[in-house]
Amino acid sequence: GGLFNVMVTSMVGCAQPMALSFPFERPVFMKEHTNGLYDVVPYFLSKFFVEIPVVMCQTLLGVSISYLLMALQSQFLMLWTANFLLGIASASIAIMLGCIANRVSDAVELFPLAFIPQLVLGGFLIQMDQVPKFLRWVKWICPLKMAGNLCLLTEFREDTPANNQTLSDNSVTRGKEWLYATILIVMIVVFRTTGALILKRKAAHFM
């Protein structure tokens, strides 16, 4: 439960500001793109490189406080890395939603559709074997679930029956840390690329 709260804080804390601010920034981009000042690719890359240190500091602060107050047994670096990747992936989803939405109110309405299902299907509120089989594939495109797997693997890294049962209950497999981290990185690339393509198409119509 404690790890779940830490991750939800990282997810919402990194995603919500992006979902709310990006629709305000988009008209400026449209105007400057129309004037030929820059294209979608450098705009998205510059936003990404500005976000990285912000998300790093935000997740580092949250994880540091939680790590000390909750007396977690995790490897600190791996716990922070999981939350950092979760924050970037969540921000990527928020930017994609911001590209889809025409108004801030639209982005606010889309936000729960993208993040509330993660709370349900992330394997924390209900176990994955309780989820209908035709929905279980969703966990592979759920940043909260992939980051949760990494956090559970570092918190319960000792090979004991109790730890193994906890990992099994949450559908986590030992030795697949790189798989979960790679999936998170792929999701970051896919969500941001999708957002860039949507924005590029809207910019073309704007012209």
In angstroms, the CA 196 to CA 178 distance is 27
58-86 pLDDT, tens digit per residue, is: 999 999 998 888 888 888 999 999 999 99
Q: CB of 126 within 8 A of CB of 147?
A: no
> Is pLDDT above 80 for 135?
no
Instruction: Give the total number of structural domains in the chain.
Output: 1
What Å distances lie between residue 172 and 84, 140, 150, 191, CA to CA? 20, 12, 9, 24
Full-model pTM:
0.87
What is the band of 187 on the pLDDT scale with cuts at 50, 70, 90?
A: very high
- Residues of the domain holding 87: 1-205
Alpha-helical (H) ranges within 71-103 are: 76-100
Q: CB of 52 within 8 A of CB of 46?
A: no
What is the band of 141 on the pLDDT scale with cuts at 50, 70, 90?
A: confident
37-53 pLDDT, tens digit per residue, is: 778 888 888 888 989 99
In angstroms, the CA 110 to CA 114 distance is 7
With pLDDT > 90 as the criterion, what percentage of the chain qualifies?
A: 25
Whose tokens are 């957002």? That residue is 195
Q: CB of 15 within 8 A of CB of 93?
A: yes
Measure CA 147 to chain center.
Answer: 8
Which has more pLDDT, 206 or 27?
A: 27
